[in-house]
A and B are shown apart, each in its own frame.
Chain A
Amino acid sequence: ETGVTQSPTHLIKTRGQQVTLRCSSQSGHNTVSWYQQALGQGPQFIFQYYREEENGRGNFPPRFSGLQFPNYSSELNVNALELDDSALYLCASSLGTAGELFFGEGSRLTVL
């Protein structure tokens, strides 16, 4: 059973650029959720995908968007990057929206 994997692990961007983060869900899981975690804070829910459709969204602007593919892997896209977007971005997969969350190691984004 493979776990949740995320790529890239670290990346540096400049303000105004766009970034795509990727997540492969754990085998058998059909739900992926994304979180932003600033230093010293808990993970903040961005959105969730269930069977390729957005199924819940947190308080993030539209420049945060995502996709889920038929194999249940997912992407998080952030446009027009701002300095405050610097954070650890965590992906978690689960079996259904009520299942236990299994997290990947995260992608650490630094915006300069």
Chain B
Amino acid sequence: AQKITQTQPGMFVQEKEAVTLDCTYDTSDPSYGLFWYKQPSSGEMIFLIYQGSYDQQNATEGRYSLNFQKARKSANLVISASQLGDSAMYFCAMREDTDKLIFGTGTRLQVFP
């Protein structure tokens, strides 16, 4: 069964607008961590943001924020004020209690002027 689900294969957003990339997860571990990575066309994997299962507040890093809804098992990435350079693949990942790190299928975001 898929443990990390990203239902949006592709998303478009206009420059300077906000966009939400969806991620749902499935685990029975009480302790887990959620990550978002960006992969531009160059292929490198860039870490964006982290949310721990026990964190009370939603994580934020600059223009990135994570909308963490534990009861719904969702960890959506919100990018505010999109820039052309945000065009990339975005991956949601989960670290389980065993330290295994698994990824979703990704969402390709395209930012247009």
Q: Do A and B come from one complex?
A: no
List residues of A whose CB falls within 8 A of some B CB: none
B contacts, CB < 8 Å to A? none
